[in-house]
């Protein structure tokens, strides 16, 4: 079965062709980086417009890269939520149109389920039950994941952020410090140059479900630090630098970032990573997991990957490769495969749901 996956939930227009839920024949991602960069974050209206521009060429490219024609496809899979409604609608409408005109089954996929299946693409034999953490710009959610049949998974939410997602914290702190957008990759590159223990951030003690997260406090703490240390001028200078050169080399960055700022960046990342690892380990222990799955854009983070490989983590930990950690459509086609096999199809009433639960 050859599935065309379509993903347009946020700011990447993506299409991929995946065979039997496993073999990636093509994986095309068109980034809207240059459109949103100047605003320091995703502008929903612009995102929808860019998806409209990109969807046809991106799908065509995915078929071309896979050396397939439309008639070779077995099904169309499309992300139906959670995400930006205007963005989701572009993918859903296009997916419906393809399904109708080609007379192919349509499968609606939850974006978070896609992120979890990104891991299974490379590690199909990982052991369940697993603790799956999706950590991205929109989510910091932990799911207790069990296998109910071949490729069929069921999910129970065990912890989530009560405010900002971890990736959102990376993005907001990077914006605050004049490091551009998206913030995660910039902070990831710069953090090893600073002292992670220079600034002590306290993390919120959660009432109720202690497995929940909160990242808005650390963002405010960084802001206070910036104000107290009088860093405004330095930040304004970096923003000007970024306007001239949106993708600075590490050498150019290091010239523009004084040591105390590098320490602040390192301390911020250290605190967020420690919090993610602490919660994942606590959840895995509580539920008796056989393995850990870490996915979503923040799963690209070097320090996070290292921390999960440390001896304190007793479980086998599985990450997708970076290209499959951030938003892509291969994960959507992969997640659709067991649904298609089980006959869980969508029809033309498939709707975009901004807060679709998993
Ligand atoms: O999964 P994704 O592509 O989109 C969402 O579903 O949100 O994740 C994007 C998020 C952004 O917040 C970005 O800053 C973050 O992932 N990110 C990273 C890294 N690469 C991307 N965060 C930390 N370290 C990274 N290397
Ligand atoms: Zn995502």
β-bridge partners, 5: 16, 77
CATH number for the domain harbouring residue 158: 3.30.420.40
Decide if pLDDT at 301 tops 90.
yes
User: Phi and psi for 116 in degrees, rounded to 5?
Assistant: -70, -40
Residue 223 lies in a domain: yes
Residues 227 and 276 in one domain: yes
Residues 107 and 143 in one domain: no
Ligand nearest to the CA of 304: 1
**Residues of the chain with pLDDT > 70: what percent?**
100
Ligand nearest to the CA of 190: 1
Find out whether the beta carbon of 86 lies less than 6 Å from any atom of ligand 1.
no
Give the model confidence (pLDDT) of 213-267 as tens digits: 999 999 999 999 999 999 999 999 999 988 898 888 889 888 889 999 999 999 9
Ligand nearest to the CA of 192: 1
Decide if pLDDT at 311 tops 80.
no
Residues 35 and 65 in one domain: yes
| Span from the CA of 82 to the centroid of ligand 2 (angstroms) | 9
Give the model confidence (pLDDT) of 313-330 as tens digits: 789 999 999 999 999 999
Please give the pLDDT value at position 246: 84
| Span from the CA of 143 to the centroid of ligand 1 (angstroms) | 19
Residue 197 lies in a domain: yes
Residues 211 and 252 in one domain: yes
Contacts of residue 167, defined as CB under 8 A and 6 or more positions apart, other chains included, come to 135, 136, 137, 138, 140, 182, 184, 296, 297, 298
Residue 346 lies in a domain: no
Residues 310 and 329 in one domain: no
Residues 192 and 281 in one domain: yes
Please give the pLDDT value at position 53: 97
Residues 151 and 106 in one domain: no
Banded pLDDT at 92 (limits 50, 70, 90): very high
Contacts of residue 202, defined as CB under 8 A and 6 or more positions apart, other chains included, come to 217, 221
Residues 223 and 330 in one domain: no
Before 183, cis peptide (omega within 30)? no
Residues 221 and 195 in one domain: yes
| Span from the CA of 136 to the centroid of ligand 1 (angstroms) | 5
Residues 207 and 107 in one domain: no
The tally of domains found in the chain comes to: 2
Residues 301 and 331 in one domain: no
Estimate the crossing angle of helix 111-122 against helix 330-341, to 10 degrees. 90
Residue 157 lies in a domain: yes
Decide if pLDDT at 290 tops 80.
yes
Residue 23 lies in a domain: yes
Please give the pLDDT value at position 9: 97
| Span from the CA of 325 to the centroid of ligand 1 (angstroms) | 8
Please give the pLDDT value at position 235: 95
| Span from the CA of 138 to the centroid of ligand 1 (angstroms) | 9
Before 82, cis peptide (omega within 30)? yes
Find out whether the beta carbon of 10 lies less than 6 Å from any atom of ligand 1.
yes
3-state secondary structure the chain: CEEEEEECCCCEEEEEEEECCCEEEEEEEEECHHHHHHHCCCCHHHHHHHHHHHHHHHHHHHHHHCCCCHHHCCEEEEEEECCCHHHHHHHHHHHHHHHHHHCCCEEEEEHHHHHHHHHHHHCCCCCCCEEEEEECCCCEEEEEEEEEECCEEEEEEEEEECCCCHHHHHHHHHHHCCCCCCHHHHHHHHHHHCCCCCCCCCCCCCCCCCCCECCHHHHHHHHHHHHHCCCHHHHHHHHHHHHHCCCCCHHHHHHHCCHHHHHHHHHHHHHHHHHHHHHHHHHHHHHCCCEEEEECHHHHCHHHHHHHHCCCCCCCEECCCHHHHCCCCHHHHHHHHHHHHCCCCECCCCCCCCCCCC
Find out whether the beta carbon of 40 lies less than 6 Å from any atom of ligand 1.
no
Ligand 1: which residue has its CA nearest to atom 16? 297
Indicate the top mutation candidate among 42, 165, 170 to test ligand 1's pocket, ranked by most ligand atoms within 8 A of CB.
170
Residue 122 lies in a domain: no
Give the model confidence (pLDDT) of 95-146 as tens digits: 999 999 999 999 999 999 999 999 999 999 999 999 999 999 999 999 999 9
CB contact at 8 A, 128 and 288: no
Find out whether the beta carbon of 82 lies less than 6 Å from any atom of ligand 1.
no
Supply the mean pLDDT for the chain.
95
| Span from the CA of 167 to the centroid of ligand 1 (angstroms) | 5
Residue 347 lies in a domain: no
Decide if pLDDT at 312 tops 80.
no
Entry pTM: 0.95
Banded pLDDT at 33 (limits 50, 70, 90): confident
For the CA of 295, the nearest atom of ligand 1 = 1
Residues 61 and 89 in one domain: yes
Find out whether the beta carbon of 179 lies less than 6 Å from any atom of ligand 1.
no
Residue 352 lies in a domain: no
Please give the pLDDT value at position 256: 87
Find out whether the beta carbon of 297 lies less than 6 Å from any atom of ligand 1.
yes
| Span from the CA of 214 to the centroid of ligand 1 (angstroms) | 17
The boundaries of the domain holding residue 289 are 127-315
């Amino acid at each position: 079965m050859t599935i065309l996956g379509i993903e347009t939930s946020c700011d990447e227009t993506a299409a991929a062709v995946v065979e039997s839920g496993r073999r990636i024949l093509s994986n095309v991602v068109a980034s809207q980086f240059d459109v949103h960069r100047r605003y320091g974050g995703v502008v929903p209206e612009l995102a929808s417009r860019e998806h409209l521009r990109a969807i046809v060429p991106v799908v065509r490219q995915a078929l071309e890269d896979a050396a397939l024609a439309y008639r070779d496809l077995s099904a169309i899979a499309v992300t139906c939520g959670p995400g930006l409604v205007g963005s989701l609608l572009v993918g859903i409408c296009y997916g419906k149109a393809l399904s109708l005109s080609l007379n192919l089954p349509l499968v609606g996929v939850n974006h978070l389920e896609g992120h979890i299946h990104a891991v299974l693409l490379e590690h199909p034999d990982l052991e369940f039950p697993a603790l799956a953490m999706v950590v991205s710009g929109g989510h910091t959610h932990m799911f207790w994941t069990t296998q109910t049949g071949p490729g069929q998974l069921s999910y129970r939410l065990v912890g989530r952020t009560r405010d900002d997602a971890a990736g959102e914290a990376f993005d907001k702190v990077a914006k605050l410090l004049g490091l551009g957008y998206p913030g995660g990759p910039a902070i990831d590159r710069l953090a090893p140059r600073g002292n992670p223990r220079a600034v002590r951030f306290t993390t919120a003690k959660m009432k109720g479900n202690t497995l929940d997260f909160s990242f808005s406090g650390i963002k405010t703490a960084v802001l206070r630090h910036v104000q107290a240390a009088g860093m405004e001028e330095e930040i304004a200078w970096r923003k000007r630098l970024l306007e001239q050169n949106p993708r600075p080399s590490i050498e150019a960055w290091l010239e523009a970032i004084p040591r105390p700022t590098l320490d602040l960046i390192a301390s911020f990342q250290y605190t967020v990573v420690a919090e993610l690892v602490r919660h994942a380990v606590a959840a895995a222990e509580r539920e008796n997991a056989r393995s850990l799955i870490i996915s979503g854009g923040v799963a690209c983070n070097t320090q996070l990957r290292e921390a999960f490989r440390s001896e304190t983590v007793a479980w086998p930990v599985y990450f997708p490769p970076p290209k499959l950690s951030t938003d892509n459509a291969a994960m959507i086609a992969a997640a659709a495969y067991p649904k298609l096999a089980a006959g869980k199809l969508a029809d033309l009433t498939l709707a975009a749901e901004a807060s679709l639960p998993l």
